[in-house]
Structure 1
Amino acid sequence: MRRPGIVVLAVLVALGGVVMLPATAADAAEGDPSDVTVARYGGADRYATSLLIAEAVAVEAGGSLSSVVLVSGERWTDAVVAAPVAGALGAPVLMTPPGGLRADALAFMRRVGVSDAVVIGPDASGGAHGPGRGVSAAVIDALADAGIGAERIAGSDRYSTSVAAANEVTPGVMPGLGRTAIVASGEVFADALVAGPFASRGTHPVLLSSPDELHPDVADYLSAAGVEHVVVMGGTAALSAAVASAITDLGVSVTRLAGATRYDTAVKAAELVNDRYSADAGETCFGTGTIGVARARVPFDSFSAAPLLARLCAPLVLVDPAEVPADTEAFLDTARESNDGVGLRIFGGDAAVSQSALDAYLAAGISVADHDDCRPPSLSNVATTVGFPLPDTVDPSSGEVKITVLFMDFPDAQAGHTTHAEIEIGLPVMEEYLEAQSYGKLDLDVDVVHRWWRAPHPSSNYLDDDAAGATGLWPSAGEESVRLADNEYDFSDTDVVLTVFPSDHFGRGLALGSAFADGTALSGFRINTHPGTSDGVPWNWGLTAAHELAHNFGLVDLYPYDPSVHAAGEPPEGTAWVYLEFGLMGLKARYSDADHSLWFVAPVEMLAWTRWQLGWLDPAQVACGVRLGASVALGPVAEPGTGIAAVIVPLNEHEMIVVESRRRLGYDTAAPDTHQSGAMPRHGLLEEGVLVYTVDSRIDNGQLPVTVAGSAGDSRTDGFPVLTPNESVTVRGYTVTVTADNDDTHTVTITRTG
């Protein structure tokens, strides 16, 4: 069968990825089958992959989870029986190393609000329990130390453990077939694995049995639990005819799913549940619009897949790392012919399901992606993000936004300058900069209350460490200023409060915070917040204030909070480091240069990505995916007009390549007198060209969610990191080349190199 047009988007991948590209006009004219989206979940190891899948479950759950099901990353017999338990709890299945709880897993549990964990399987190793070690007591101790309750569910062997897990749920009804359980071989993982999605969705216990006879514990459970129907997974080599007969002797009906191959068995499982369950809004579940894909011979990539696929109403089919087998290919072809669009969810990195195997199947070109594919989902429960949507708590970033400016000093840090002096340089820069960066979509209405209020407590009462570890005036100081002004000022139409502290004693700034006055919930940000960082005189804090207000809009810091990440070291002999900072939020890079007069360069036109987040770029100005080899003309990000301001290439659901044109226009001509870092830039944009960077919405504030293409982990690049004609950079298998510059637009092409 000829492979028609495809969209490749991907989800939650740390290894590899695919890009969205347009199908040919001929394909469209011939009415070929639906576009395909490819989504991959693959971390640096099995535990990172499991965590990525758990993050996706949390997103599907609305950002919070009360429970998690933990299984050993070494023992499949525990993992396959965990699916219905997780389904009943609305929880992900999260793998853990047997000997201890990983810090990233614990951080995830804390962030999404997990209070209870269910551990499946004993801590005993090997033998009757199956290959590998179980979850040790050290893991449960670590959970207890974190305030997370833990319950272990285990039996004396793999079979009784499956029964113990089954006893934790009430067997659900499989529509048309009655109260249903699943029986699979305790010797072969693949059959039980592909039952996981519908076992989780329908709360059908997964019971393991020996191949030759029905395990007595399983038989007792089926009788006691009132099971009416059993799905027997696999042919008679997996579970003998005697096993099925023993089940029917209990008065229980049997549906055997027996394919000629394990791939065929997976397809038969998908066909059994096709449109059988109900989903939201009257839709049916387990159609073929979304399909999970995992490798057939190693289980670890897909241990955690079942609860996510259950939420997505998606079956799981199997492939080999190097090819899509015929049984699976035929199923996917039918799905594509039956749907307007098909989403493939790939579990594991390239070693599990190779990109070349997908390319061989998805061979005929790719469709332009929908703009939603270029809006990667945010982390849960965060105040700032590089993803979408922006948090509910952010301030409006379009239309008229009223900012009230207050001034407060302290008994031990009194103001030596007038309120007019404190703001006359910085405030106009903040206002003009943000309104220009928004292309006129933001109108700041600033009302300045010219009076110094005196805090009732010394400044030390309001100091704490900020996110980067520096000591500054905390939100309580902003709240105090509102409380002091409340009797004299009407805050009822205020959106944001800017509190200015005396520059005699403090410098820099901080964002976020809240207060309540005149029946209005107010957010806030602050200028002159850090003791010991001021020259003692009013300064141009305009970009600093714009940076802090952008946090209130929902944007993250792009610079690393850990300075060792960008530790410079010594430059090559005869050169000096030139430090770069693109945009408002601090996208850093550096390179060595023989020109010792250069040291800090700040082209501060905001990145196209942050403007896209804030809604300042319209969808018509963003090319979400391009056909491989096609040319795109990019207008300058400072003044894009009605042209394309950015090309975004989705690598997966969370990672994007962004391509934008930078010219000596607007704030790339030269930076204002003082940059938000406090340094004094010598230049704006050193050279006009195309800036390429990557975005990962899974990475939090101050942890490098955006990186310049071609930079090492310590931010070093080979030179000033913009591309001029005939220059290119390769990112994750895609090469971006500048092919032309007509002084108005840069023309780029994107090709696949791997």
Structure 2
Amino acid sequence: MPRPFRRPRLRSTAAVCTTLSALAATSLVSGTSPTGPDRAAPCALRRTGAHHSEGLDTWNAAYPRPTRRLDAAMVFLSFPDAVPRTTPAELTADHFPATSRFFERSSYGRFTLRPHPLGHWIRMPRPSTAYAVRRDWNPVRRSAYLRDAVAAADPEVDFSRYDVVYFVADPDAPGVDSDATKVVNLDTPLRADGRDIRRVVTVFERHPPDRLVLAHETGHVFDLPDLYQRPVDGKGDWDTYVGDWDLMGSQFGLAPDLFAWHKWKLGWLDPGQVVCVRSLGTTRVTLEPLGAGPATPVTGAAGVPVFGLGHGTKLAVVRTGPDSVLAFEARGPVGNDGSACRSGILVYRVRSGAASGGGPVRVIDAHPHTAGCWEGSVYPPLADAPVGLGESFTVPGEGVRVEAESRTASGAWTVKITAG
């Protein structure tokens, strides 16, 4: 579900991250970590019953896994109380190819989202105002909307052909609320063309829409959680958990590429691209920039663009408890992160028992007394969170220290992680 982009206020104190139990893992070789399919396994948190759990030891089969081409139906809904002022072609162009390109870059070419727009309007049986569309939508009215949409579209859409369904409402109809765009998970699936429809993306965006909003909602279709917090009174900061650093936190972020943890969960990183730091002592890891893929240039040590990255180590992990880890990845203005405020090693905590919206991922600020990119960041206090080149940082309460020692000629980062 999208949320408003509100310019943040300057914080007076550093954000305090939840202190968890001391390191539980007890063995590993220091130095270069071994390659092989199981080197990351000890740090793969178990999936829990939390909604959109960040556990990744198994895949939740209720969701399509984006490790192949997936086909998406786009159905455009008009209403008796409004004449559309836009065309389905214009609304398709609002979201594609931008959404597909985001996922292609983020997945290093491992996933293709192919849209199938219907090309004309499907008339709903009731006025737009009859459905009382809003952010916190009445379940009865929402169910009526979805039933009507499926029934109206079914004569022209073979739902059995599609992995993802987008119902796109006429943005100018009087009863449409752009704040209501979201993924609806159905306890009782709708049935059409011999297929159970278990979730639908309901799109109510204005024209033109919020940036990357459809990519955010599609992330939920793949079992990714909301990483923003929703203030109780609606007036506080939404982005204190992860700031600009993941699409599931904010579609407006300067560096919205998905966390390496999410890429591991989705199947876009091989086990050999993840290092599990399992012992007390020091481990050195060479981390490729998260946004660097096989055809994405990064700036090398000599200031020359370098191609060919994308198959090396992307993520280092320290286990901190039964359902928690610290994650380390290299971020900078590459790929989907082209507008990143700072380059360096981003540190964040992952908890598999925390539900969507409950802070399952929290970025840890290596510069708690400063901020960055006030002109564009969704939450400037975290915009400069990464550990910069030549800097070191000790994670509060964990006894884990990270140092960004140097960069290689190819643009990768040499990182020293000391646990204990």
TM-score by length of 1: 0.43
Find the counterpart in structure 1 of residue 333 from structure 2: 664
| Cα contact 1:401–1:445 (8 A) shared by 2 | yes
Shift of 1:700: 0.6
> 2:194 is aligned with what amino acid?
G
1:308-327 maps to which residues of 2 (within 5 A)?
A: none
Find the counterpart in structure 2 of residue 695 from structure 1: 350
- Work out the CA distance in 2 between the residues paired with 1:383 and 1:429: 28
Report SS of the residue matched to 1:379: coil
Report SS of the residue matched to 1:700: coil
Find the counterpart in structure 2 of residue 585 from structure 1: 248
> 1:507 is aligned with what amino acid?
S
Find the counterpart in structure 1 of residue 178 from structure 2: 507
- Work out the CA distance in 2 between the residues paired with 1:417 and 1:24: 60
| Cα contact 2:21–2:321 (8 A) shared by 1 | no
Shift of 1:719: 6.5
Are residue 725 (structure 1) and residue 400 (structure 2) matched? Answer: no
Find the counterpart in structure 1 of residue 192 from structure 2: 517
Shift of 1:369: 7.7
Shift of 1:21: 4.4
- Work out the CA distance in 1 between the residues paired with 2:403 and 2:271: 23
Residue 479 and residue 396 in structure 1: after superposition, are their counterparts in 2 closer, same or farther (change >3 A)? farther
| Cα contact 2:133–2:177 (8 A) shared by 1 | no
Are residue 22 (structure 1) and residue 46 (structure 2) matched? Answer: no
- Work out the CA distance in 2 between the residues paired with 1:393 and 1:718: 34
Residue 568 and residue 554 in structure 1: after superposition, are their counterparts in 2 closer, same or farther (change >3 A)? closer
- Work out the CA distance in 1 between the residues paired with 2:157 and 2:41: 43
Residue 688 and residue 621 in structure 1: after superposition, are their counterparts in 2 closer, same or farther (change >3 A)? same
| Cα contact 2:134–2:177 (8 A) shared by 1 | no
Report SS of the residue matched to 2:148: helix
Find the counterpart in structure 2 of residue 528 from structure 1: 204
- Work out the CA distance in 2 between the residues paired with 1:413 and 1:652: 55
Report SS of the residue matched to 2:404: strand
Residue 749 and residue 544 in structure 1: after superposition, are their counterparts in 2 closer, same or farther (change >3 A)? same
Report SS of the residue matched to 2:228: coil
Find the counterpart in structure 2 of residue 632 from structure 1: 285
Deviations along 1:395-440, whole A, 9 cap, x unmatched? 2311121111101123345522111111213221111111221111
Find the counterpart in structure 2 of residue 686 from structure 1: 341
- Work out the CA distance in 2 between the residues paired with 1:454 and 1:719: 45
Report SS of the residue matched to 2:282: coil
Task: Choose from 419, 433, 441 the match for 2:110.
Answer: 441
Shift of 1:631: 1.1
- Work out the CA distance in 2 between the residues paired with 1:718 and 1:487: 49
Deviations along 1:210-238, whole A, 9 cap, x unmatched? xxxxxxxxxxxxxxxxxxxxxxxxxxxxx
- Work out the CA distance in 1 between the residues paired with 2:192 and 2:210: 27
Are residue 609 (structure 1) and residue 290 (structure 2) matched? Answer: no
1:292-691 maps to which residues of 2 (within 5 A)?
A: 370-380=39-49, 382-388=50-56, 389-463=58-132, 466=135, 469=136, 474=142, 476-504=144-172, 505-508=176-179, 509-513=181-185, 514-522=189-197, 523-528=199-204, 534=206, 538-541=207-210, 543-562=212-231, 567=236, 580-586=243-249, 602-625=254-277, 628-639=281-292, 640-669=309-338, 684-691=339-346
Report SS of the residue matched to 1:695: strand
Deviations along 1:429-463, whole A, 9 cap, x unmatched? 11111122111111222211012122222334434
Residue 526 and residue 752 in structure 1: after superposition, are their counterparts in 2 closer, same or farther (change >3 A)? same
Task: Choose from 346, 353, 359 the match for 1:704.
Answer: 359
Shift of 1:24: 7.1
Report SS of the residue matched to 1:548: helix
Shift of 1:583: 1.6
Residue 476 and residue 495 in structure 1: after superposition, are their counterparts in 2 closer, same or farther (change >3 A)? farther
> 1:510 is aligned with what amino acid?
K
Are residue 750 (structure 1) and residue 417 (structure 2) matched? Answer: yes
Shift of 1:22: 1.2
- Work out the CA distance in 1 between the residues paired with 2:30 and 2:253: 43
- Work out the CA distance in 2 between the residues paired with 1:549 and 1:586: 13
- Work out the CA distance in 2 between the residues paired with 1:465 and 1:14: 38
- Work out the CA distance in 1 between the residues paired with 2:236 and 2:177: 27
- Work out the CA distance in 2 between the residues paired with 1:708 and 1:457: 45
Task: Choose from 393, 401, 411 the match for 1:735.
Answer: 401
- Work out the CA distance in 1 between the residues paired with 2:201 and 2:24: 40
1:250-265 maps to which residues of 2 (within 5 A)?
A: none
Deviations along 1:692-726, whole A, 9 cap, x unmatched? 100011111101111111388xx884871011122
| Cα contact 2:51–2:355 (8 A) shared by 1 | no
| Cα contact 1:22–1:369 (8 A) shared by 2 | no
| Cα contact 1:635–1:641 (8 A) shared by 2 | yes
> 2:183 is aligned with what amino acid?
A
- Work out the CA distance in 1 between the residues paired with 2:89 and 2:382: 45
- Work out the CA distance in 1 between the residues paired with 2:337 and 2:30: 38
| Cα contact 1:427–1:542 (8 A) shared by 2 | no
- Work out the CA distance in 1 between the residues paired with 2:171 and 2:234: 31
- Work out the CA distance in 2 between the residues paired with 1:487 and 1:719: 49
Shift of 1:564: 6.4
> 1:503 is aligned with what amino acid?
P
- Work out the CA distance in 1 between the residues paired with 2:332 and 2:30: 33
Aligned length: 354
- Work out the CA distance in 2 between the residues paired with 1:409 and 1:735: 56
Larger radius of gyration: 1
Residue 727 and residue 471 in structure 1: after superposition, are their counterparts in 2 closer, same or farther (change >3 A)? farther
Residue 718 and residue 415 in structure 1: after superposition, are their counterparts in 2 closer, same or farther (change >3 A)? closer
| Cα contact 1:384–1:390 (8 A) shared by 2 | no
Q: How large is the Cα RMSD of the aligned pairs?
A: 3.2
- Work out the CA distance in 2 between the residues paired with 1:429 and 1:719: 24
- Work out the CA distance in 1 between the residues paired with 2:118 and 2:392: 52
- Work out the CA distance in 2 between the residues paired with 1:718 and 1:431: 28
Report SS of the residue matched to 2:178: strand
Report SS of the residue matched to 2:402: strand
Find the counterpart in structure 2 of residue 312 from structure 1: none
Find the counterpart in structure 2 of residue 247 from structure 1: none
| Cα contact 1:429–1:542 (8 A) shared by 2 | no
- Work out the CA distance in 1 between the residues paired with 2:106 and 2:30: 36
> 1:708 is aligned with what amino acid?
V
> 1:581 is aligned with what amino acid?
D
> 1:620 is aligned with what amino acid?
G
- Work out the CA distance in 2 between the residues paired with 1:394 and 1:542: 24
Report SS of the residue matched to 1:749: strand
| Cα contact 1:422–1:502 (8 A) shared by 2 | no
